[in-house]
Every structure is written in C-alpha cells, then in structure tokens.
C-alpha cells in the first residue's frame, strides 16, 4: 500500500474508533524544527524562531517558536482532528486538563543521532524527548488514573519527524565532518536507520500505537542548499543521493518493526513525494516561486535564518519556502492535505 494511503487509513481509523460524543484523541509530536511548536523558546540555544518575522501569518501575528510564517504541520493535523494544538512540553501552560490534548516534545536542530545539531548547544535530543514522554505520562496518571492514562496514550495519534538534520547538520555540515570521515554515505545511512529503529521501538515500549513516521523531504532542493551548491537552480546532487538512500531503507525498517510487533503500529508518510510534487509542478499548486525563500538573505534567500533584517516577500502564499529550510504555511497545508485526504480505505482493523 502507498505510504500516503497508509497514513490516511491510520488517521481515518483513529477518528472512526472514537465515539461521536467524545473529545478528539490526544496528539503527541516528536522530532525537529519541522514540527517544533515552541520548545526551544525555553532553552538557551541558537535554534530559535521566537522573533519576527516568524509568525507573521500566525493567528496572533506573533513569533511562537514555529519555524514558519504561520502554522506548521502538527497544527494543521490538529485542525483535521478537530482538536486544539498540543502545547510544547516545556510550556508552563501544559498542566491540568491541557494534558489531555497531548504534548509536543519536538526541538529544532535534533536528529536521530545525539551528535547531530551539536552546534546549537542546548536542544532536546530525541532520547530526552522520549524521557519527557515518560515524565508526561506520570503527570497524566496523577491527573486521571493509570487505566485512563494508558488508554489515552494507546489511542493517541503520534507524529515523529527525524532524519534531515542528520545530513544537513551532521554528515554534510562541514567538509570532512567527523561522521563523513567515519562512514561512506551508504554505510552512514544504514547506521542512522538502525539507530532510528531503536527510537521507534522505544516509542512503542512507551505505549505509542498509532504512529506516523515521515520520510525526509528533498533536502537538496531547499534554498539553503541551493545557495551553497547550485549554479542554475538545480538541486544539490549529493544531498539528493542521501535522501534517495535513506527513505527506502527507513520504509523497510518500519515494515520490519511492524512484522516483529505483529501489527501496523507505524506507518510512513512519503513527504519527499509530497514536497517534490509542488516543487516539480509549482503552477499546479498556485506557487510562483519554489526555489527562493520568502524570508532570508543571500542567493535564493538561503543564507542564515529569517531575521528582522531579512528580505520578506509580500505574498507568502505563492512561495513554497518560508526560510532557508522550512516550508510556508501554505506548503505545509498541501503536505498535510495529501496524506489526510488523498485516498480512503473502507475498512478499519482494530
């Protein structure tokens, strides 16, 4: 079955399983800056999006820590689920009844490996995100009791997005990086996929039973990589090669976990294809620019993060990229729509 269809089936079955009068299911988010909704605001780190013009199109028009002009992928999934967005785990507002909505544990800059993103200094590495998930569950049990807490976690939707930083902020961060000296690219990909399996297995041990695992998007085509490697707008060949090695092996790994478990707990979302569709055919999606970031500086607006001193486009809806690495809200909506409304399956397996 196509990865996008599997995600559709998972989400639709999740919704169908809930009694009509019940509240929306809880939602948990793990990963990097593509899904971080503000945890890094509470950390002494350079990986932050807490100043304008980030958030220029957010409902409050304030920077929230999301690496977007507006909403990010978890926000839009929450909309589809009919729920309010899960708060960042580090937010002091995440207490009491808010715990029932879920939590976002993601932190910009992290990867599968602990040494990914070390230049950002203080970020919530994935092992720490899983430890926070355990801590969250203790708080939840204190609020509603163990049986209800276990049920809420088991029935929740979980999103995990990792992998991109292990290339752009590790293997290819500098010429002759430690990891690139240690591993040839095919061996590195096998290594990080094997490490990812351990992370997903731990997530299962912690009670996750309905998990979307996103693949890596077209890293070689983001403005940051075009600024560094492109002469005429062509995508960076070496990063494209890395993604083409990583995604199929990640899918095979996820299938292997499901076989070992004996259930389709984990499903993969083909975010590479979802992104590539609008990058290859921008006019079909209403985009007029899929190479230059809306906010930034330098070639393709791809140097550094978006700041108050950056160039900012007037119409964010016609740009695929908000900053050097991250999609605009409109691009995020297209990505989510493709795996929420692409196709449906008529039966759901408990």
Strand pairing partners for 319?
289
pLDDT band at 131 (very low <50, low <70, confident <90, very high): very high
Please check whether residue 12 lies inside any domain of the structure.
Answer: no
Helix or strand (DSSP H, E) at 160: strand 157-161
Q: Is 33 a catalytic residue?
A: yes
Residues 71 and 119 sit within 8 Å (Cβ to Cβ): no
Residues 242 and 167 sit within 8 Å (Cβ to Cβ): yes
Q: Which of the residues 36, 166, 264, 323 is marked catalytic?
A: 323
The stretch 279-298 carries a mean pLDDT of 95
Above pLDDT 70, what percent of the chain?
91
Per residue in 150-194, pLDDT (tens digit) is 999 999 999 999 999 999 999 999 999 999 999 999 999 999 999
Per residue in 37-54, pLDDT (tens digit) is 999 999 999 999 999 999
Please check whether residue 216 lies inside any domain of the structure.
Answer: yes
Please check whether residue 298 lies inside any domain of the structure.
Answer: yes
Q: Is 187 a catalytic residue?
A: no
Q: How many domains does the chain have?
A: 1
Please check whether residue 82 lies inside any domain of the structure.
Answer: yes
Q: Which of the residues 9, 32, 33, 264 is marked catalytic?
A: 33
Tokens of 48: 């932050």
Please check whether residue 11 lies inside any domain of the structure.
Answer: no
- What's the CATH number where 29 sits? 3.40.50.1110
What percent helix, strand, coil does the chain show, rounded to 5? 50, 10, 45
Residues 71 and 78 sit within 8 Å (Cβ to Cβ): no
What DSSP line would sit under 46-94, residue for residue? Answer: S----STTTTTTSTT-S--S-SSSS--HHHHHHHHHT-PPPPBTT-TT-
Above pLDDT 90, what percent of the chain?
83
pLDDT band at 148 (very low <50, low <70, confident <90, very high): very high
pLDDT band at 5 (very low <50, low <70, confident <90, very high): very low
Cα–chain-centroid distance for residue 80? 16
Residues 162 and 31 sit within 8 Å (Cβ to Cβ): yes
Per residue in 218-272, pLDDT (tens digit) is 999 999 999 999 888 899 999 999 999 999 999 999 999 999 999 999 999 988 8
The single-letter DSSP state of residue 207 is T
* 344: pLDDT strictly greater than 50: no
**SS3 (DSSP) at 293:** coil
- What's phi and psi for 222, nearest 5 deg? -75, 155
The stretch 18-32 carries a mean pLDDT of 74
The stretch 317-343 carries a mean pLDDT of 89
**Measured between alpha carbons, how far is residue 15 from residues 5, 156, 195, 243 in Å?**
15, 10, 31, 32
Q: What rounded mean pLDDT belongs to the chain?
A: 90
Please check whether residue 4 lies inside any domain of the structure.
Answer: no
Please check whether residue 13 lies inside any domain of the structure.
Answer: no
Q: Is 229 a catalytic residue?
A: no
Query: Domain limits at 179?
Result: 22-342
Please check whether residue 10 lies inside any domain of the structure.
Answer: no
């Amino acid at each position: 079955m196509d990865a996008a269809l599997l995600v559709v089936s998972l989400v639709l079955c999740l919704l169908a399983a809930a009694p009509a009068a019940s509240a929306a299911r809880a939602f948990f988010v793990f990963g990097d800056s593509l899904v971080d909704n503000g945890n890094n605001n509470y950390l002494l780190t350079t990986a932050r999006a807490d100043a304008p013009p980030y958030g220029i199109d957010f409902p409050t028009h304030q920077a929230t820590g999301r690496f977007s002009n507006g909403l990010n992928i978890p926000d839009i999934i929450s909309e589809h689920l009919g729920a309010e967005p899960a708060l960042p785990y580090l937010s002091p507002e995440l207490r009491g009844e808010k715990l029932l909505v879920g939590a976002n544990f993601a932190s910009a800059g992290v990867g599968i490996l602990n040494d990914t993103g070390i230049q950002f200094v203080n970020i919530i590495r994935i092992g720490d995100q899983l430890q926070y998930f355990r801590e969250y569950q203790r708080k939840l049990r204190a609020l509603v009791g163990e049986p209800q807490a276990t049920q809420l976690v088991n029935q929740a939707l979980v999103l995990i997005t990792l992998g991109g930083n292990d290339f752009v902020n590790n293997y290819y961060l500098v010429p002759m990086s430690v990891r690139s000296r240690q591993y040839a690219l095919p061996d590195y990909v096998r290594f990080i996929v094997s490490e990812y399996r351990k992370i997903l297995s731990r997530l299962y041990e912690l009670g996750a039973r309905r998990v979307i695992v996103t693949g890596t998007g077209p890293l070689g085509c983001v403005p940051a990589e075009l600024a560094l490697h492109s002469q005429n707008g062509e995508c960076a060949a070496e990063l494209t090669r890395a993604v083409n090695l990583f995604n199929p092996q990640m899918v095979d790994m996820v299938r292997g976990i499901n076989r070992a478990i004996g259930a389709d707990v984990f499903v993969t979302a083909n975010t590479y294809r979802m992104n590539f569709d609008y990058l290859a055919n921008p006019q079909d999606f209403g985009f007029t620019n899929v190479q230059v970031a809306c906010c930034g500086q330098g070639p393709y607006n791809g140097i550094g993060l978006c700041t108050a001193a950056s160039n900012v486009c007037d119409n964010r809806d016609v740009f695929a990229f908000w900053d050097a690495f991250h999609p605009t809200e409109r691009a995020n909506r297209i990505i989510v729509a493709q795996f929420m409304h692409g196709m449906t399956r008529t039966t759901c397996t408990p």
